[in-house]
Structure 1
Amino acid sequence: MARILNVGIAQLGPISRNESRQDVVVRLVALMEDAARMGCDLVVYPEAALTAFFPHWWIDDEDELDSWFERAMPNPAVQPLFDAARRLKVGFHLGYAELAFEDGRKRRFNTAILVGKDGEIIGKYRKIHLPGYTDRRPGDPFQNLEKRYFEVGNLGFPVWHAFGGRVGMMICNDRRWPESYRVMGLQGAELILLGYNTPVHNPAMPETDDLGNFHNQLVMQSGAYQNGTWVVGVARAGVEEGVDQIGQSCVIAPSGEVVVQCTTLGDELQVARCDLDLCNSYKTSIFNFAKHRRPEHYGLIVERTGAGDVLGR
């Protein structure tokens, strides 16, 4: 019997700087309710979905910076989303800014969680490939301060048994790096979930502005195909606090084909019927890693780890 998973991509339009978490959660619940009516098992929300994307501006005050982060998950502002998941029997993926107290100090991460149909957290991922910079750039139309506000994720790229398959997560810029997909592919990932907030304009490389949507889908399609996995990418889209962000949230099959895509730059739900067994033909033929992949002949040192092969000079 085919393993069918109905996945809803819950794209968000802009979130204003003054919009409360409670108001945002109302939007998230509305999308989840629509997804439930359409038979979804899982809803995927964007990166940092609870607030405006604050790394786009400079923040000096420590308390103000901390106010954009979640100290616990769930918390009172977000609890209605967990309650809705339990009531509707729909799981979800949610990105948010996480404030953690670990190793005797305060730490900040760009985080995503996977939540089951029972409203319980299945797994957590912290973004590894942080873009941007740490210094202030007053000449730019907006900032990209993820390297200043977040630490590099310390949880690796795990894969969880969930929703009848093997599910992994990444966040935004992670999707541009083939290692992100490959580490999960080596663990048999069949569904990779990711949210992104990607500006149309790149001040560091303005000559590529017209290629933003192309590059967005290029990396997700290649990652899906080369690892025989479904990839679900969900955007925060539209003009948010003066920053124009791409949309085109989509679901990509293990063949690399886009099977469904959002067509607006606002709150929008699209649904894909994902047959997880479609992964098998790619994983057992073209991309049968055990049979065809030969990292020991790449001219690099191969370190064997529990999460797969790590290559280095």
Structure 2
Amino acid sequence: MSRILTVAAAQLGPIQKAEGRDIVVARMIALMDEAKAKGAELIIYPELALTTFFPRWHHEDRAEADHWFEAAMPNPAVQPLFERAREHGMGMSFGYAELTPEGRHFNTSILVDREGTIVGKYRKIHLPGHVEFDPERAHQHLEKRYFEPGDLGFPVWRLMGGLMGMMICNDRRWPESYRVMGLQGVEMVVLGFNTPSVNSQKPGEGMAQRLFHHRLSVQAGAYQNATWVVAVAKAGDEDGHHCMGGTLIVNPDGEIVAELESEADGVIVHACDLDDTRFGKATIFDFKRHRRIEHYGPITAQVGVIEPE
């Protein structure tokens, strides 16, 4: 049997600080049209797809950053994207900065079905970076200043014939992200990221090593949970701050089956057979037969390292 879902990973090139959402949405629609022409049924865009990566700038009054956030979704700025997706009969996922009615701030992604209805929401849990301005860093990464850790867990949704989950950027480095979804039978994980090409605290760790760690994390998560993973970058030079590419699609054996080489707007499309997840889930990663939770207590009982005496 086969359950083919043809997926487009829609990378965005740089979004400059001065660019409005209308410009960005037009670029996203152009990528959607290209993906549709290549047979895609589901399109995945990056983290914070509607704006530049604003956590690189420090505001003493954090409310000065609120103009980067979306108080409603959809809203008039993104309505054309939802309408085009509905016209094409395509599902989609993209990330944005969410401002809730209660005034809370999250780094958020959504899943949208073929009819343009939001069916799933995820809020980034593993926030990297720091809270206060750090003069020792090569650049600032202030996600902990502008966002709260996500409060929705790692849900999985039934969408387009499969079991779909989401994560965002730094979540991909944490095996717990994949495993919680793996324990719900996830068959495809979609994630967007904006990753600086240089480690702000370790200048010698350049883009080659960061791309290696990116691929390693995604491939391991896919293999160890027998799931497809679609990872999509926002890349290139944003107002002098460079983000790496690395948009790719990984199969349930942990193999990269498609990868985008450029840092510009671009699409890769791949026919993903969701039934390819079944062998791994029934054999080496048959959790019900092989997991030994009586030995996993420290994973949820402690946060930091406790060394033996």
Q: TM-score range by the shorter chain?
A: over 0.9
1:130-279 correspondence runs (5 A): 130-209=127-206, 210-279=208-277
Match for residue 37 of structure 1? Answer: 37
Instruction: Give the root-mean-square deviation of aligned CA atoms.
Output: 1.2
The separation in 2 between residues aligned to 1:240 and 1:297, in whole angstroms, is 46
What amino acid is the match of 1:255? D
Match for residue 82 of structure 2? Answer: 82
SS of the residue 2:154 aligns to: coil
Match for residue 23 of structure 1? Answer: 23
Instruction: Point out where structure 1 has 5 or more consecutive residues left out of the alignment.
Output: 302-309
The separation in 2 between residues aligned to 1:203 and 1:93, in whole angstroms, is 29
What amino acid is the match of 1:163? M
Q: CA deviation at 1:118?
A: 0.6
Match for residue 73 of structure 2? Answer: 73
The separation in 2 between residues aligned to 1:3 and 1:59, in whole angstroms, is 48
What amino acid is the match of 1:158? P
What amino acid is the match of 1:42? L
The 8 Å contact of residues 186 and 227 in structure 2, kept in 1 or not, is answered as yes
The separation in 1 between residues aligned to 2:111 and 2:236, in whole angstroms, is 25
Q: CA deviation at 1:244?
A: 1.1
1:103-142 correspondence runs (5 A): 106-142=103-139
The 8 Å contact of residues 140 and 200 in structure 2, kept in 1 or not, is answered as no
The separation in 1 between residues aligned to 2:223 and 2:156, in whole angstroms, is 18
What amino acid is the match of 1:28? M
SS of the residue 1:311 aligns to: helix
Q: How many pairs are equivalent?
A: 301
The 8 Å contact of residues 62 and 146 in structure 2, kept in 1 or not, is answered as no
Structure 1, residues 8-34: CA drift from partner, whole Å, max 9, x if none?
A: 000010001010001100000000011
SS of the residue 1:101 aligns to: coil
The separation in 2 between residues aligned to 1:36 and 1:69, in whole angstroms, is 29
The separation in 2 between residues aligned to 1:50 and 1:224, in whole angstroms, is 27
Match for residue 305 of structure 2? Answer: none
Match status 1:91 vs 2:91:
yes
Q: CA deviation at 1:139?
A: 4.4
What amino acid is the match of 1:167? M
Higher share in strand: 1
Structure 1, residues 102-121: CA drift from partner, whole Å, max 9, x if none?
A: 3xxx1100000000111110
The separation in 1 between residues aligned to 2:225 and 2:48, in whole angstroms, is 26
What amino acid is the match of 1:223? G
Q: CA deviation at 1:243?
A: 1.2
What amino acid is the match of 2:218? M
SS of the residue 2:5 aligns to: strand
Structure 1, residues 43-99: CA drift from partner, whole Å, max 9, x if none?
A: 000000000110011123455311000000000000000000100111110100000
Seq. identity, %:
54
The separation in 1 between residues aligned to 2:112 and 2:45, in whole angstroms, is 12
- Among 280, 284, 287, which residue is 1:286 paired with? 284
The separation in 2 between residues aligned to 1:171 and 1:187, in whole angstroms, is 18
Structure 1, residues 126-174: CA drift from partner, whole Å, max 9, x if none?
A: 0000000001023434210000000000000000000110000000000
What amino acid is the match of 1:200? S
The 8 Å contact of residues 11 and 233 in structure 2, kept in 1 or not, is answered as yes
What amino acid is the match of 1:218? L
Tell me the TM-score normalised to structure 2 length: 0.95
The separation in 2 between residues aligned to 1:233 and 1:58, in whole angstroms, is 28
SS of the residue 1:55 aligns to: helix
What amino acid is the match of 2:30? A
The separation in 2 between residues aligned to 1:177 and 1:23, in whole angstroms, is 34
Tell me the TM-score normalised to structure 1 length: 0.94
Q: CA deviation at 1:296?
A: 1.2
Match status 1:311 vs 2:300:
yes
Match for residue 307 of structure 1? Answer: none
